[in-house]
Structure 1
Amino acid sequence: MSKGSPGPTPGFLVWRLANKWRVAVDRALAPLGLTHAQYAVVASLYGMARAGERPSQRRLADHTGMEALYVSKLARALETAGLIERTRDPRDPRAVQLTLTDGGRTVARQAVETVQELLQQLLEPLGGLDSARTRVFTDELTTLLDAPLAPSVPTDESTQGRTP
C-alpha cells in the first residue's frame, strides 16, 4: 500500500496550469474576438499554411488534440466571423479543407504575437521562453503527451470483487 503525498498531485497541478493558461489566453485574445480554442485553430492553420499545408478538419483535429466535432464547430464560427474558409477537398468529397482568409491571417499574426508575449511572461519563473529549464520542461510535457493511455475499463457491479 502506498501513501499519498500530502501536497497536490501532478494531475491536479497539470489541470490547474492548463486552466490558468486557458483563462490568460482567453483574456489576452478577447480584444481580437478569439477564445483560446479558436486561437488553437487559427494559429495552427497559420503555422500549417506557412509549411505549405492546407489541412482538413480531421487533420487539424489530430494536430490540436481536439475532438473533430469540436473543430468543426469552431471552424463554422470562424467562417461566420470571416476568418477562415471551409471548402470540400477535391480528392475526398467527404473531407473539408480549412484555410485562413486575408483577415484571418492578420488576426492570426496578431494573436500569435500576443500569445508569445503571454508565454514569455508565464515561463519567466523558469528563465523565460529560451531558457534551458523551459526546454527541459517542454521535453517533459512532450513525453507525457506522447505516452499512450490504456483505455479505461468500465466498472460493472456484477464483476466487482471477482478475479478473472
Structure 2
Amino acid sequence: MSNGPEGATPGFMVWRLSMKWRVAVDRAVAPLGLTHAQYSLVASLYGMQRSGERPSQRRLADHTGLEPLYVSKLARALETAGLLERTRDPRDPRAVQLALTEQGREVTRRAIDVVHGLLQQLLDPLGGLGSARTRAFMRELTALLDAPLDPFSEPETEQS
C-alpha cells in the first residue's frame, strides 16, 4: 500500500488522485466513444434531465465546473456524434439549451454503469460506497470544494 511520495503536499495528492481518476474514466468510457470530459457532461446532463431540467450550456458549465467555452466545444462534438441536441432557449435567444438524444441517453446509461464500477473500486479501501469512511471523505471533499480559491489574493499569515 502506498501512502504517497514522502513529503508530498495535499495539493500534489489531490492532483495525483484527480489524474488517476481522469485516466481511469477515459479508458473505461473510450469503448463507448466518450472521453472523461464528455462523460462528465453527459452524465451531469442525464441527471439534470431526470430532474426535469433542460439546462443551458452555461448552467451545465456551472454544474460541472468546466469552462463555458469548453462546454460549448464538447456539446458541439457530442451533437455531431448524435448524442445531444442544442437548441435556442425560447426565453433567451442568446442561450443554448442542451438535451440528450435517445442514443445519448443509452450511451450515458451504459457509461454511468461503467464509471460506477470504477467508483466502487476506488472507494473499496475506504470500505465501499456506503461506508462511514466514504461518507466522511465526501464531507471533507465537499468542504474543500466549497472553500473559495482566489489565485490573486495574498495568503493570510499569522501575526505574532
Q: TM-score, normalised by structure 1?
A: 0.89
In structure 2, what residue type is equivalent to 1:31? Answer: P
Give runs of aligned pairs for residues 72-83 of structure 1, distance below 5 A: 72-83=72-83
Which protein has the larger Cα radius of gyration, Structure 1 or Structure 2?
Answer: 1
Give runs of aligned pairs for residues 62-81 of structure 1, distance below 5 A: 62-81=62-81
User: How far has the Cα of 1:7 moved from its partner?
Assistant: 1.4
Moved over 3 A (4+): none
Report whether the alignment pairs 1:138 with 2:138.
yes
What is the aligned partner in structure 1 of residue 114 from structure 2? 114
User: How far has the Cα of 1:153 moved from its partner?
Assistant: 5.2
Gaps of 5+ in 2: 1-5, 155-160
Cα distance in structure 2, aligned partners of 1:148 and 1:28: 32
The number of residues matched between the two structures is 149
In structure 2, what residue type is equivalent to 1:8? Answer: A
What is the aligned partner in structure 2 of residue 126 from structure 1? 126
Find the residue that maps to 1:96 and give its secondary structure.
strand
Describe the superposition over 1:36-74 as per-residue Cα deviations: whole angstroms up to 9, x where unpaired: 000011000100000000000000000000000000000
User: How far has the Cα of 1:149 moved from its partner?
Assistant: 1.5
Describe the superposition over 1:92-132 as per-residue Cα deviations: whole angstroms up to 9, x where unpaired: 00000000000000001001110000000011000111111
In structure 2, what residue type is equivalent to 1:35? Answer: T
Cα distance in structure 2, aligned partners of 1:76 and 1:109: 20
In structure 2, what residue type is equivalent to 1:146? Answer: D
Cα distance in structure 2, aligned partners of 1:137 and 1:144: 11
What is the aligned partner in structure 2 of residue 148 from structure 1? 148
Give runs of aligned pairs for residues 25-104 of structure 1, distance below 5 A: 25-104=25-104
> Alignment RMSD, CA only?
1.2
Cα distance in structure 2, aligned partners of 1:149 and 1:31: 36
Cα distance in structure 2, aligned partners of 1:33 and 1:136: 34
Cα distance in structure 1, aligned partners of 2:125 and 2:19: 18
Cα distance in structure 2, aligned partners of 1:151 and 1:15: 17
What is the aligned partner in structure 2 of residue 158 from structure 1? none
Gaps of 5+ in 1: 1-5, 155-164
Cα distance in structure 2, aligned partners of 1:150 and 1:87: 34
User: How far has the Cα of 1:151 moved from its partner?
Assistant: 4.3
Identity, % of aligned positions: 77
Cα distance in structure 1, aligned partners of 2:83 and 2:128: 31
What is the aligned partner in structure 2 of residue 157 from structure 1? none
In structure 2, what residue type is equivalent to 1:67? Answer: E
What is the aligned partner in structure 1 of residue 157 from structure 2? none
